[in-house]
Amino acid sequence: MALSQQNLESLELTTLNDGFALSWQNRLILRHTAQTPCLWVGAGEADIDMFRGNFSIKDKLDEKIALIEAAVIPQDAGWNVRFTRGDTVNATLHIGIDAEGRLELKLKNDSASHNRIWLRLAAKPEDHIYGCGEQFSYFDLRGKPFPLWTSEQGVGRNKQTYVTWQADCKENAGGDYYWTFFPQPTFVSTQKYYCHVENSCYMNFDFSAPDFHELAIWQDQAVLRFECADNYIQLLEKLTGLLGRQPEMPDWIYDGVTLGVQGGNEVCQQKLDVMRKGGVKVNGIWAQDWSGIRMTSFGKRVMWNWRWNGDLYPELNTRIKQWQAEGVRFLTYINPYVASDRDQCEEASKLGYLTKTHDGKDYHVEFGEFYAGVIDLTNPEAYDWYKELIKRNLIELGFGGWMADFGEYLPTDTVLHNGVSAEVMHNAWPALWAKCNYEALEETGKLGEVLFFMRAGYTGSQKYSTMMWAGDQNVDWSLDDGLASVIPAALSLAMTGHGLHHSDIGGYTTLFDMKRSKELLMRWCEFSAFTPMMRTHEGNRPGDNVQFDNDSDIIAQFARMTTVFTTLKPYIKHAVALNSQSGLPVMRPLFLHYEDDPQTYILKYQYLFGRDLLVAPVHQPGSSEWTLYLPQDNWVNLWTGEPYTGGGEITVAAPIGQPPVFYRATSEWAELFTSLRHI
Amino acid sequence: MALSQQNLESLELTTLNDGFALSWQNRLILRHTAQTPCLWVGAGEADIDMFRGNFSIKDKLDEKIALIEAAVIPQDAGWNVRFTRGDTVNATLHIGIDAEGRLELKLKNDSASHNRIWLRLAAKPEDHIYGCGEQFSYFDLRGKPFPLWTSEQGVGRNKQTYVTWQADCKENAGGDYYWTFFPQPTFVSTQKYYCHVENSCYMNFDFSAPDFHELAIWQDQAVLRFECADNYIQLLEKLTGLLGRQPEMPDWIYDGVTLGVQGGNEVCQQKLDVMRKGGVKVNGIWAQDWSGIRMTSFGKRVMWNWRWNGDLYPELNTRIKQWQAEGVRFLTYINPYVASDRDQCEEASKLGYLTKTHDGKDYHVEFGEFYAGVIDLTNPEAYDWYKELIKRNLIELGFGGWMADFGEYLPTDTVLHNGVSAEVMHNAWPALWAKCNYEALEETGKLGEVLFFMRAGYTGSQKYSTMMWAGDQNVDWSLDDGLASVIPAALSLAMTGHGLHHSDIGGYTTLFDMKRSKELLMRWCEFSAFTPMMRTHEGNRPGDNVQFDNDSDIIAQFARMTTVFTTLKPYIKHAVALNSQSGLPVMRPLFLHYEDDPQTYILKYQYLFGRDLLVAPVHQPGSSEWTLYLPQDNWVNLWTGEPYTGGGEITVAAPIGQPPVFYRATSEWAELFTSLRHI
């Protein structure tokens, strides 16, 4: 194949004294000598505890052996490298080009008992690294290890905060900087290549050494793929060529805010009326309690028996149509578990569709004062049964979309239909769950009309998850778990190939002494007007939080910001279309367009919204002004029209309702942007 | 040698399919097969950070290799076992009997680059394990790993407490269950053998597996010694035969409490007068500020320039004599560092007696708003110079004793005169520091007349540290860091061969919201009457703490409990003499005398004081009664004379001043004990 041949030529393997070096399009990928080997194999026994989606993961490491000898054997297209340590420990690396012209490294341990691999990729001290899924605390990942395991994100996520400590004491739930719903063994280096590992086992990507990245892989084999490009935009196009891209969103998404409401038809109607009367553009009502509620000490929980509950939502089928005629979709909620004490679980159990314990019984997971069975998505029949449930109980009823929640809780000691260890399937679960939802839309022709949004993800979510949301932020201003954390989350996911991201306006987690303030809700609202979707959430303790309809200031802020959002509709749609076509994300790190500016590589709390809007959300309380960085370009303050020449930090007034946003003076959308000055 | 020959006969090496088993006096010590090897070697790079004696220790593990093949080669007296993995990785184990008839295992890695050893000793699921130095949180060590590294003990020592979290946030100082001033790679198994490892490198003894104990040793060689005995008393006699024993204490120690006072002659005199007038037996004044003070934000600190400060203590030489004539010794304070901004440091620096940085400069350690040089105790000249300083500035002045503080802070990146890595010398430092003090006494003929007490320790402290104290308890009731923690500390140290232990009456660490209460001080006072030494401490923030002279209740409690203590003088002296002769500790775990009673192996908060007193200190606030366990024997309540037949739990009244203490009805000291009823 011509492509492979050409790419093969850009692949260079140089024999060194005692080793070899592998370069790919002039990037040094591997460097091996007896003194500085690139490969270790070993054995360990994973020690994994889960409590309500919070994981304690340790490795009982039995062996870790440096493979210091490497014999290179040329092949037709590539090389086999035979790594050995003495006469008893071996592994093989196949270096080649895949059918699409990517560099492919295939590793395989020779001993069945060796279930660990550590591979060191060459690095330069000055490299920055991005990606690894949705990372809330760091955007540039250089300098730290990043364990890759889908889980709850943690409450607080910083051992120095009192909130984290309280959550740790209660349920080991405090989390840490790397906890995420959506990890992925994929990163982009500023050497302008990406590296993607195909496995779904537990991995730990350690970017802390100056001259290598160490990838620890808890399996006996691994396949790595690499592509290079001349710039980051091309690189993301290639990455999403590998991983898949999200389809365009339904048109109605751009028409306003989706209001998170619970409590039945009348509450929905009443809140909708209040907001519309206040001038708020509303495109939907998102009611997660459509299937009823269960009371627990944590608060009201949704009844996980996925069927319209006529007590709370009488005549929902007709109400949905009325609302839709007014331009308001009805959105709802589902997850891949069925409450153990309800009939859908009973049915799944009878059909043999739940995952099992080692002694062949149904596995029930504790979710906080109730249990649920896990639909075995590796069983094609179970998968189809659940897909049909989505079609029948959600799509047929006319829902505009839903939150496809969870996916992080696959216990590692459950037994699956496909025979693969749950420890290996754990990370793959969110993407399987996404696929189930996606196919339900695809097979009913509803893609582009109905939208589901997910918090959990993994490789495959790029293709199958139509929208991500940032999960469960605290209702606070903390960098690691508050409003601010949504920005690196969106950007790191963008660098992992998922370009559609939004968050709960006002945050979600309301525990201990945390209560959502009016200021936080208003700042979050204005930030969300510069993301591809606006949606509110009451939080897990609605009564402790300020809500969107609490007073006229807040309603006015929603009126203003939804007007901004809907005014930007053509601009945002255009950016979403580009994401769909070429994987260019909607919320972009600045270096995608200003790659010669070293400053742009370390910005974690500002971004480009499409090509022409630079957004620096206010994420600290009591701020009347805000400092941000403008790269070299001609910028115009979105609210005042004041021109700025970029190339340094500036401080601007940032009253509520006017978050720091700048547009490029030369933008073809300048007229649209100018119109926002008068809102 | 006859002894060795006999012991050699009790050493059995059995060849197994694919391995071997080693038994010693019918205890299985090692069991090796290819599937379940007993030895791993490897390489790592220690990553050690110190901040004010708090250490963060990680291993950058490069390799860990199971040595699965073992070839046994008989020797004249013992065997060599040649362990290999393939043709390139090897280590040798020499199994023999040492000159004293002990089982000796000598391990040596063959590759210079392999600086890690993991050895698995055979174990039975039902074994209990004790020792490993001074352990504050656990007495039976089974079920957990115990890293062995001398350091601060931590403030709180339990990640679930708010105090610990605050200390962690401020200075990474919160600690954990295994943090200790006095670790030691020595343990006693209920199979009635001890195991002692001679190295001083970082080790981690992991007792969590059912069928082995894994000893991780951060060095390329190790020497292990074992002895067996028919009972624990004989076993401790053998262990202290190896490690050394403490000399008897000065007679005056038994004559009352040593009052911790600061602030100069007049404050000492005034407090002494108040206490004596209140009927308190006082044997000494312990004034740590004899060399002056330094003000820091932490509070008053001692000026680390070890010379009598005439401003605070004018005419101390004559005052000492007056007090001594009244039966009151003057005790003081020193540690192995010299304040960088004072003349002793300048002199040590000129003489080249300070440890160095890697570029040859003097190493100065940060101690909290001031720095100090580290006397290089591996330099014989520096060691002698410091010993002479102790003789001249402390002993010649007539001090009755001193706190020989610290020893835990040897930085791992300092360069030492003896050329040994500071990482390896770090643990050895406390015993070197003890030896310097001990020899100063020995060479001036003051052993048995002057007493120094230490908090830091390691192998060698048994012989050279004349008394231990439990370090810096919180002024609270917490199990891991309060009054209670002193009991497992004393008992674990007893099982490590050090039989003299006491604590700061009232605790020391006064941080955050902690303040010493009157009740705590009174309970600690009554507990201390049943330890070999009574001594108070003001704490680091004296003004926040209730002190011994604060009110008449407290003074009366001290009067009562010092009377108990001095009344017990002949009994305690006898127990101390036994400790000196045969290593039978003064504070003893119950199983030393009731080894057939399984209940006694898990008691961590009660002990035997000598042979005939059973003590169960009240360590919770607001207790008017207390539940304890009495082993099968005839017991008499020390305060009421009420007889009890042991063999179960009992609950007794425990008002302040009457801590639960029982004596054996058949004790030859019964009359002495009876006399205490009328105090």
Dump the DSSP string for A190-255. Answer: TTTEEEEE---S-EEEE--SSSEEEEEESSSEEEEEEEE-SSHHHHHHHHHHHH--PPPPPGGGGG
Question: What is the C-alpha to C-alpha distance for residues A204 and A459, in angstroms, rounded to an integer?
Answer: 15
Burial label for B310, CB within 10 Å (0-12, 13-18, 19+), is exposed
Share of chain A above pLDDT 90, in %: 96
Catalytic residue among A140, A206, A214, A405: A405
Residue A115 pLDDT grade (very low, low, confident, very high; cuts 50, 70, 90): very high
pLDDT value of residue A596: 98
Same domain flag for B169 and B93:
yes
Same domain flag for B198 and B261:
no
Contact yes or no for A483/A527 (Cβ under 8 A): yes
Q: Would B148 be classed as within a structural domain?
A: yes
pLDDT at A5 over 80: no
Same domain flag for A80 and A169:
yes
Same domain flag for B175 and B233:
yes
Q: What is the CATH number of the domain that holds A523?
A: 3.20.20.80
Which of B508, B529, B597 is CA-nearest to residue B280? B529
Question: Which amino acid would we find at residue B337?
Answer: Y
Q: Would A351 be classed as within a structural domain?
A: no
Ranges A108-112, A225-229, A245-249, A343-347: which has the least confidence: A108-112
Residue B40 forms contact with A (CB below 8 Å): yes
Read off the DSSP letter of residue B294: E
Choose the closest CB to B63 out of A62, A66, A168.
Answer: A66
pLDDT value of residue B297: 79
Tokens of residue A232, six digits: 């980051």
pLDDT at A7 over 90: no
Residue B330: which residues within 8 A CB-CB, separation 6 or more?
B284, B285, B287, B316, B319, B320, B323, B324, B398, B399, B400
Chain B positions in Cβ-Cβ contact with residue A64 (cut-off 8 Å): 42, 61-65
Residue A209 forms contact with B (CB below 8 Å): no
Q: Would B344 be classed as within a structural domain?
A: no
pLDDT value of residue B1: 41
Question: What is the C-alpha to C-alpha distance for residues B373 and B393, in angstroms, rounded to an integer?
Answer: 19
Burial label for A161, CB within 10 Å (0-12, 13-18, 19+), is buried
pLDDT value of residue B9: 79
Chain B positions in Cβ-Cβ contact with residue A66 (cut-off 8 Å): 62-63
The predicted model gives A381-403 an average pLDDT of: 98
DSSP run (H or E) holding B492: helix B486-494
**pLDDT tens-digit profile of A78-88?**
999 999 999 88
For helices B265-277 and B552-567, the axis angle rounded to 10 degrees is 80
Read off the DSSP letter of residue A523: H
Ranges B71-80, B297-306, B413-422: which has the least confidence: B297-306
Same domain flag for B490 and B626:
no
Quick check: A65 and B63 CB within 8 A? Answer: yes
Residue A64 forms contact with B (CB below 8 Å): yes
Q: Would residue A126 show up in a list of annotated catalytic residues for this protein?
A: no
Q: Would B655 be classed as within a structural domain?
A: yes
Q: Would B363 be classed as within a structural domain?
A: no
- Name the 3-class secondary structure at B555: helix
What's the distance, CA A391 to chain centroid? 25
- Name the 3-class secondary structure at B433: helix
**pLDDT tens-digit profile of B83-106?**
999 988 999 999 999 999 999 999
pLDDT at A300 over 90: no
Residue B168 forms contact with A (CB below 8 Å): yes
Residue A296 pLDDT grade (very low, low, confident, very high; cuts 50, 70, 90): confident
The predicted model gives A331-358 an average pLDDT of: 98
Q: Would B364 be classed as within a structural domain?
A: no
pLDDT value of residue B499: 98
The predicted model gives B38-49 an average pLDDT of: 97
ipTM of the complex: 0.92
pLDDT at A1 over 50: no
Q: Would B415 be classed as within a structural domain?
A: yes
Same domain flag for B457 and B529:
yes
Residue B350: which residues within 8 A CB-CB, separation 6 or more?
none
Phi, psi of B42, rounded to the nearest 5 degrees: 180, -165
Interface mutation target, options A47, A62, A166, chain B, most CBs of B under 10 Å: A62
Residue A3 pLDDT grade (very low, low, confident, very high; cuts 50, 70, 90): low
pLDDT value of residue B5: 63
Which of B149, B243, B140, B248 is CA-nearest to residue B203? B149
Rounded alpha-carbon distances, angstroms, from residue A275 to A319, A547, A551, A641: 18, 12, 11, 29
**pLDDT tens-digit profile of A542-569?**
999 999 999 999 999 999 999 999 999 9
**pLDDT tens-digit profile of A604-638?**
999 999 999 999 999 999 999 999 999 999 999 99
**pLDDT tens-digit profile of A144-194?**
999 999 999 999 999 999 999 999 999 899 999 999 999 999 999 999 999
Chain B positions in Cβ-Cβ contact with residue A42 (cut-off 8 Å): 64
pLDDT at A574 over 80: yes
Q: What is chain A's mean pLDDT, rounded?
A: 97
What's the distance, CA B406 to chain centroid? 12
Specify which residues B275 forms β-bridges with. none
Same domain flag for B325 and B214:
no
Residue B89 forms contact with A (CB below 8 Å): yes
Same domain flag for A263 and A223:
no
The predicted model gives A469-495 an average pLDDT of: 98
Chain A positions in Cβ-Cβ contact with residue B162 (cut-off 8 Å): 165
Which of B391, B460, B453 is CA-nearest to residue B430? B460
Question: What is the C-alpha to C-alpha distance for residues A596 and A613, in angstroms, rounded to an integer?
Answer: 19
Contact yes or no for B538/B547 (Cβ under 8 A): yes
The predicted model gives A15-36 an average pLDDT of: 96
Q: Would residue B176 show up in a list of annotated catalytic residues for this protein?
A: no
Q: What is the CATH number of the domain that holds A668?
A: 2.60.40.1180
Choose the closest CB to B88 out of A63, A86, A160.
Answer: A86
Same domain flag for A437 and A569:
yes
Tokens of residue B74, six digits: 């008989």
Domain closes at, from B243, B268, B283: B243
The domain total for chain B is 3
Same domain flag for A25 and A158:
yes
Q: Would residue A110 show up in a list of annotated catalytic residues for this protein?
A: no
Domain closes at, from B192, B216, B243: B243
Neighbours of B2 (CB within 10 A): 7
Read off the DSSP letter of residue A376: -
Domain closes at, from B243, B275, B307: B243
Chain B positions in Cβ-Cβ contact with residue A169 (cut-off 8 Å): 160
The predicted model gives B311-317 an average pLDDT of: 95
Same domain flag for A498 and A572:
yes
Domain membership of residue B535 as a residue range: 256-334+377-584
Specify which residues B120 forms β-bridges with. B214
Choose the closest CB to A89 out of B40, B64, B86.
Answer: B86
Residues comprising chain A, all counted = 679
Q: Would B121 be classed as within a structural domain?
A: yes
Q: What is the CATH number of the domain that holds A140?
A: 2.60.40
Same domain flag for A492 and A595:
no
Interface mutation target, options B165, B170, B172, chain A, most CBs of A under 10 Å: B165
Question: What is the C-alpha to C-alpha distance for residues B455 and A550, in angstroms, rounded to an integer?
Answer: 61
pLDDT at A26 over 90: yes
